[in-house]
């Protein structure tokens, strides 16, 4: 599904954040991306949804070469990629329902389908009863569940999560992982950058460790491998 070849990323300030990464990720895989702060994890995953462009090398997702993708085609790519952030990024003036429905309204889905689909994903994250709440009326874990629901409402084949449990307590983090496993079991590829060693060492998945912009380890059922 994802094929990176000799990818580098040098930011305009001269920082070489990714320095020659080649990797293949198959449909349905669950991959943790680990490594020290500043190692290049975020840059690595941002290039997968075209938030950043590589300086050299190629990235293909489902046969589409992202390095050749025209700017006006980027929204179509994004529809097949759900993105979840550490800080949720919900729209504060919209209700839970509206935050999730928004992604379908922009593609002009008909209102009846929107309602059905939003309630389906709210059910998956167990938040149907809070559909009318505003984000700041929810706990952090609940806000993250809304952002996960929003990310999968288009039924994307790929979900990218950058430190999704970074702002959450341990118990809430495990809840989030249960939801990710459920989404992954339904066939969605998940790529998750994380510093959560307990989760990585307990829920064993493929681990890609990035250090100084290079892949330092790539293991099928890997360990977190760092002290912090």
Q: Give the Cα-Cα-Cα angle 141, 143, 147 (nearest 5 degrees).
A: 115
Q: Is 142 in the site for ligand ADP (CB under 6 A)?
A: yes
User: Environment class of residue 37 by beta-carbon count within 10 Å: exposed (0-12), middle (13-18) or buried (19+)?
Assistant: exposed
Pick the closer one to ligand ADP by CB: 45 or 66: 45
Q: How far apart are CA 49 and CA 201, in angstroms?
A: 27
Q: Is 228 in the site for ligand ADP (CB under 6 A)?
A: no
Give per-residue burial for 119-131: e unless 16+ CB within 10 Å, then b.
eebbebbebeebb
Phi, psi of 124 (to 5 degrees): -60, -40
Span of 7-15, 97-105, 111-119, 146-154 interacting with ligand ADP by CB under 6 A: 7-15
C-beta atoms surrounding 113 within 10 Å: 10
Q: Is 2 in the site for ligand ADP (CB under 6 A)?
A: no
Q: DSSP character for 138?
A: S
Q: Is 107 in the site for ligand ADP (CB under 6 A)?
A: no
Q: Is 135 in the site for ligand ADP (CB under 6 A)?
A: no
Q: Is 226 in the site for ligand ADP (CB under 6 A)?
A: no
Span of 13-21, 59-67, 99-107, 117-125 interacting with ligand ADP by CB under 6 A: 13-21
Q: DSSP character for 20?
A: E
Contact between residue 2 and residue 60 where contact means Cβ atoms under 8 Å apart: yes
Shortest distance, position 16 Cβ to ligand ADP, whole Å:
8
Q: How far apart are CA 169 and CA 55, in angstroms?
A: 37
Instruction: Give the total of residues touching ligand ADP (CB under 6 A).
Output: 19
Q: Which residue has its beta carbon closest to ligand ADP?
A: 139
Q: Is 170 in the site for ligand ADP (CB under 6 A)?
A: no
User: Environment class of residue 26 by beta-carbon count within 10 Å: exposed (0-12), middle (13-18) or buried (19+)?
Assistant: exposed
Pick the closer one to ligand ADP by CB: 40 or 156: 40
Shortest distance, position 124 Cβ to ligand ADP, whole Å:
18
Task: Report the site for ligand ADP in 15-54 (rule: CB under 6 A).
Answer: 15, 17, 35, 37-43
**What residues make contact with ligand ADP under the rule CB under 6 A?**
11, 13, 15, 17, 35, 37-43, 137-142, 172
């Amino acid at each position: 599904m994802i094929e990176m070849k000799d990818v580098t990323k040098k930011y305009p300030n001269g920082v070489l954040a990714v320095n020659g990464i080649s990797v293949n990720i198959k449909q349905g895989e669950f991959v943790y991306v680990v490594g020290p702060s500043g190692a290049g994890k975020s840059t690595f995953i941002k290039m997968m949804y075209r938030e950043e462009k590589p300086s050299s090398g190629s990235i293909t997702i489902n046969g589409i070469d992202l390095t050749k993708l025209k700017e006006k085609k980027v929204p179509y790519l994004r529809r097949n990629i759900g993105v979840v952030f550490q800080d949720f990024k919900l729209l504060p003036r919209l209700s839970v329902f509206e935050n999730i429905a928004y992604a379908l309204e922009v593609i002009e889905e008909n209102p009846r389908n929107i309602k059905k689909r939003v309630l389906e994903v709210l059910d998956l994250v167990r938040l149907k009863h809070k559909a009318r709440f505003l984000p700041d009326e929810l706990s952090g874990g609940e806000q993250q569940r809304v952002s996960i629901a929003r990310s999968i409402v288009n039924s994307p084949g790929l979900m990218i999560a950058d430190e999704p449990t970074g702002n959450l307590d341990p118990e809430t983090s495990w809840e989030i992982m249960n939801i990710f496993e459920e989404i992954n079991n339904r066939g969605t590829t998940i790529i998750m950058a994380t510093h959560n060693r307990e989760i990585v060492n307990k829920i064993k998945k493929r681990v890609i460790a990035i250090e100084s912009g290079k892949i330092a380890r790539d293991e099928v059922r890997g360990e977190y491998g760092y002290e912090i």
